Copies of this chain bind each other. A is one copy, B any other.
Amino acid sequence: MTTARRQATRQKLYEAAVTLIAEQGFSATTVEEIAERAGVAKGTVYYNFASKNELFEQLLQHGVGLLTVSLRDAADEVAARGGTRVDALDAQIRAGLAFIARYPSFTQLYVAELWRTNRAWQDTLMLVRQEAVAVVEKVLREAVDNGELSDEIDVPLTASALFGMVLVAALDWQAFQSHRSIDDVHSALSRLLQGRVSGDSRRT
């Protein structure tokens, strides 16, 4: 049985592992380090997870789960108060930024692993990625269907591009320009999404 106590231990291990692996990478991070940072014994890691690999896979699932829920909630909230689908996309951009601001280490680690081939957790990764991208694709598709967006856009590619735009802008923001506010970053990305980059300076 999974008791509350055990859950708490796992949570501590996730938190310890995520920062260490984000900083150093999976292979360079030792189980001993993770245990120490979490304040538990090494044996406890193996009591809770079958292996270092399994700990990492479950960490991935845990993290992407949080992101997916956050993206879905953002879109639903806009829909509930009658906003457009483009508003929903905009809300998802903000939700994505907020997620990255809150869990920078997880994002870092996720990006570092996402496109690696020949890794043990390849399948897990593909699965959770699809889950998250699907939420964005859904909103894009709805926007195309009701004419808010051009029916000539390529939904999967555009979803990827949006995802990437937010991801990289946010990571760069954290790493190289952390003094900017989330609103700065959000409005720069909104502008890009809504086509207010192109054209002369008469627009607002």
Contacts and interface: CB of A to CB of B under 8 A. Distances in A.
Interface of A: 22-28, 86, 108, 111-119, 147-154, 156-158, 160-169, 171-177, 180, 184-185, 188-189, 191-201, 203-204
A199 B192 contact: no
B112 A153 contact: no
A161 to B, nearest CB: 4
A152 B201 contact: yes
B115 A111 contact: yes
A25 B184 CA distance: 34
Most chain B Cβ neighbours within 10 Å, of A116, A161, A177, A194: A161
A120 to B, nearest CB: 11
B203 A150 contact: yes
Most chain B Cβ neighbours within 10 Å, of A27, A164, A176, A204: A164
Given A24-B118, A25-B116, A161 B150 contact: no
Given A152-B201, A177-B156, A196-B195, A25 B24 contact: no
